[in-house]
């Protein structure tokens, strides 16, 4: 095929645009952008200013050497191979190849019937993008193993077959996340059960990979936040902006990435609320705003925000004015500076994300249920709240009361008086 004369910078920008249009989450798009920059840097050092198919070969070799030397983990190396393959497909065909990597297809060959089952399972769970690729690899790995063990192309999936794969095969062959592999097994099991396959009895949804110690995020107290806010110079435009950002974080518990992505149209001034689509989960979230926070945001927009065509609320303070970079612009530094000026002790692990825990702790101490707090934090399950919540001592004490005020009609404590010293 004739080699096209394509500018690498333009090609990379077009690919990133196609990736976003495909529906891949913002947080994943940032990873694609990072790898594309690495590819451009590698191309520049290798003497390429326009795309050539040899660039892919050389970059693949470079990444393989990094993985072999332990500089990159296998999964990150695989991801970079995927990005250069997508860049190559766009350069050669004009279209982006979003399919699973071909080298993995060669690694785990399966029959057409097994492959069809895999695709149906992926469709059943509405998986797409990188998640679909990852689950596809694990499922093909399983069917490749099952076909080899049974010697049959017509696989009847049983509990034993799945458990043997998970306990005997994956520990020695798995090069990625065990949690990812377990997730694929859960997806496959749930799909097969939906077909009323009687041979599957175990509830694989109850299996969980061994989790690491839960990191508890240290919060800021009300008094510390008050002292910190008093150090913000609101006579400057940057001070007005930073005050609005900090108050918004404490009042809503929003992640910094979602504050950076907050747009003017997301604010419902009449009803006093905001609605965002969370970057981490892609799930919509609606949150109330207090009058104090609305006033701070309004003050910034009316008197400190630069004139700009951008829709994002918070912008840089120096020209050219643009939205705050989701990855490079950190809020923790600005918070640390104000905290230092206020004489607040620097605690390991405490940064801007601690405002999210402060939000959760304040609600908990006010008696708000954990279920409600979890919803306000935008979590999918209460289990995700562990790093953000401390136990409410009064609620725990209430649970520890004795039975004297409770009528007991059954069991060994039923009827009669009992010695309170027993």
The residues carrying an active-site annotation are 255, 280, 353, 356, 379, 388
CA distances from 186 to 122, 193, 200 (A): 12, 10, 12
Closest C-alpha to 144, from 128, 158, 155, 159:
155
Closest C-alpha to 228, from 243, 216, 245, 217:
243
Distance of CA 219 to the CA centre of its chain: 21
In sign, the C-alpha dihedral spanning 142, 144, 149, 152 is positive
- Check if the beta carbon of residue 14 is closer than 8 Å to that of residue 7: no
Residues 251 and 41: their CA atoms lie apart, in Å, by 41
**Residue given tokens 């333009």 in the structure block:** 10
Closest C-alpha to 357, from 380, 328, 389, 383:
389
Number of C-beta neighbours around residue 372 at 10 A: 10
Show the tokens assigned to 161.
């077959």
Residues 139 and 233: their CA atoms lie apart, in Å, by 56
Distance of CA 144 to the CA centre of its chain: 30
Residues 273 and 176: their CA atoms lie apart, in Å, by 41
Residues 256 and 272: their CA atoms lie apart, in Å, by 20
* DSSP per-residue codes, 273-323: EEEEE-TTT--EEEEE--HHHHHHHHHHHHHTSPP-S--BS-B-SSSSP-B
């Amino acid at each position: 095929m004739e080699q096209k004369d394509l500018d690498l910078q333009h090609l990379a920008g077009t690919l990133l645009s196609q990736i976003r249009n495909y529906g891949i989450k913002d947080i994943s798009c940032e990873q694609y952008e990072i790898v594309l920059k690495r590819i451009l840097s590698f191309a520049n050092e290798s003497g390429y200013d326009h795309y050539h198919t040899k660039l892919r070969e050389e970059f693949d070799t470079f990444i393989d050497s990094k993985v072999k030397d332990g500089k990159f983990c296998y999964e990150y190396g695989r991801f970079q191979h995927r990005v250069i393959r997508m860049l190559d497909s766009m350069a050669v065909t004009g279209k982006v190849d979003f399919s699973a990597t071909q080298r993995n297809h060669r690694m785990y060959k399966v029959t057409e019937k097994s492959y069809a089952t895999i695709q149906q399972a992926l469709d059943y769970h509405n998986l797409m993008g990188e998640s679909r690729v990852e689950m596809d690899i694990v499922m093909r790995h399983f069917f490749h193993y099952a076909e080899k063990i049974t010697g049959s192309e017509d696989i009847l999936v049983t509990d034993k077959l799945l458990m043997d794969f998970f306990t005997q095969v994956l520990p020695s062959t798995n090069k990625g996340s065990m949690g990812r592999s377990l997730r694929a097994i859960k997806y496959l099991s749930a799909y097969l059960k939906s077909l009323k396959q009687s041979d599957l009895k175990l509830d694989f949804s109850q299996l969980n990979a061994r989790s690491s110690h839960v990191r508890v995020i240290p919060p800021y107290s009300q008094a510390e936040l008050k002292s910190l806010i008093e150090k913000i110079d609101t006579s400057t435009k940057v001070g007005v902006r930073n005050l609005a950002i900090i108050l918004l974080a404490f009042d809503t518990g929003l992640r910094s990435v979602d504050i950076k992505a907050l747009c003017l149209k997301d604010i419902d001034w009449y009803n006093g609320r905001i609605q965002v689509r969370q970057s981490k989960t892609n799930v919509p979230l609606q949150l109330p705003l207090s009058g104090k926070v609305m006033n701070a945001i309004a003050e910034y927009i009316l008197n400190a925000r630069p004139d700009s065509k951008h829709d994002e609320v918070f912008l840089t303070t120096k020209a050219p004015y643009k939205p705050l970079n989701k990855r490079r612009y950190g809020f923790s530094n600005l918070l640390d500076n104000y905290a230092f000026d206020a004489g607040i002790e620097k605690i390991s692990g405490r940064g801007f994300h601690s405002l999210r825990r402060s939000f959760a702790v304040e609600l908990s101490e006010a008696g708000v249920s954990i279920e409600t707090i979890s919803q306000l934090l935008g979590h999918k399950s209460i289990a995700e709240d562990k790093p953000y919540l401390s136990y409410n001592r009064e609620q725990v004490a209430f649970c520890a009361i004795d039975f004297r005020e409770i009528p007991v009609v059954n069991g060994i404590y039923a009827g009669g008086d009992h010695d309170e010293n027993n």
